[in-house]
Amino acid sequence: MQETLYKKAFKNRFFLNNLRLTIGLILLISICCFAVFGPFFSSFDYFQTNLDLKNSFPNKIFIFGSDELGRDIFVRVCQGIRISLFVGISAAILDVIIGSIWGAFSALMGGIIDNVMMRTCDIISTIPYLLWVILLSVVLGSNLTTIIITLSLTHWINMARIIRAKILVIKELPYVHAAKLIGATRKRIIFFHLLPNTIGTIVTTMTISIPVAIFTEAFLSFLGLGIQAPVASLGTMINDAIPALRYFSFRLFFPSFFLFLLMLSFNLIGDNISDLLDPKITNE
């Protein structure tokens, strides 16, 4: 009887019973498969031009049509999705590493050190990320590395604040005091006692920060401050399609549609994954 109840409880928590989470995962996996295997169904590269076939409507040769230089929009969308995923996941990983360590150390130390570290976060957050992009573009150039560094310079602050708030509660628990009494170092307390108990919070925040990074990269590329030609980005494709919107609207539709699906999938996953990792929040 007890085993049956346990299986039933586990089944109720499993993601297959969460419709939105299931839809998000299926959508994300489908988009990833499309980005990885899509180019195999086309005989063109994302940078290959053919002026004789420019602005072609979707057909057997160009599945999604072609742009003003005769480049295959289908392959370029696949390349743009790859870049968006790489930027979003890379920026989120850096956010987790920097923000978690910063927030945990600040909360554990407390006092003046905590105050100085949090005020440092406030100062950094007041500097617009567009200014960071412009400054780094002058030094490093407008490329993928610059975008990831720019996102990492500012987006980790939200992670640090969330982890700090969580650690302030956890550090008062008896097992943390016991670890201090037996002589555990601050490094051991942070990495073996505090951070492992914030995994649910870290994963939830990470899944929410990925679509923010994806949209930021697309926005910067749309403004001409991000990925540069001939590399394909969803933001640059949208920017290139604006002048031709009246007559060749398909050029704007496909990159915008897949950017929407990409952000929707991560938002569906991020909004529901906390229920799976920490069901106590929902019950309370």
Q: Which domain holds residue 163?
A: 18-38+65-283
Beta carbons within 8 Å of 45's beta carbon, 6+ residues apart: 39, 72, 75
The torsion angles phi and psi of 66, rounded to 5 degrees, stand at: -130, 160
**49 falls within a domain:** no
DSSP reduced 3-state for 59: coil
Please answer whether residues 29 and 276 qualify as being in contact, where contact means their C-beta atoms are separated by less than 8 angstroms: no
- Nearest C-alpha neighbor of 77 from the set 49, 52, 42: 42
- 166-219 pLDDT tens trace: 888 888 888 877 877 887 777 788 788 788 888 878 888 888 888 888 888 888
pLDDT value for 154: 80
On whether the CB atoms of residues 166 and 236 are closer than 8 A, the answer is no
**Quick one: tokens of 204?**
């939830």
Q: Which pLDDT does position 34 carry in this prediction?
A: 93
Domain-embedded: residue 46: no
Query: Coil, strand or helix: which one is 277?
Result: helix
Give the pLDDT score at 144.
82
pLDDT value of residue 6: 45
Whether 115 maps to a domain, the answer reads yes
- Domain annotation covers residue 94: yes
- Angle at CA of residue 214, ends 209 and 217, nearest 5°: 125
CB 176 within 8 A of CB 194: yes
What per-residue string of b and e applies to 64-103 under the rule 16 or more CB within 10 Å gives b? Answer: bbbbebbbbbbbbbbbbbbbbbebbebbbebbbebbbbbb
Domain count, the chain: 1
> Has residue 56 been placed in a domain?
no
What pLDDT does residue 254 have? 93
The residue type at 213:
A
CATH of the domain at 171: 1.10.3720.10
Axis crossing angle, helix 144-170 with helix 129-140, rounded to the nearest 10: 140
Helix, strand or coil, per DSSP, at residue 269: helix
Query: Residue-wise pLDDT tens for the chain (284 aa)?
Result: 444 544 554 555 555 557 888 888 899 999 999 999 988 888 888 888 888 888 889 988 889 989 888 899 999 999 999 999 998 889 888 888 898 889 888 888 888 988 999 888 888 888 887 788 888 877 877 778 888 888 888 888 888 888 888 888 888 888 877 877 887 777 788 788 788 888 878 888 888 888 888 888 888 888 888 777 778 888 889 988 898 888 898 999 999 999 999 999 988 888 777 666 654 444 44
Any domain includes 57: no
pTM: 0.82
> Would residue 47 count as lying in a domain?
no
CA 100 to chain centre: 16
Q: Domain for residue 9, yes or no?
A: no
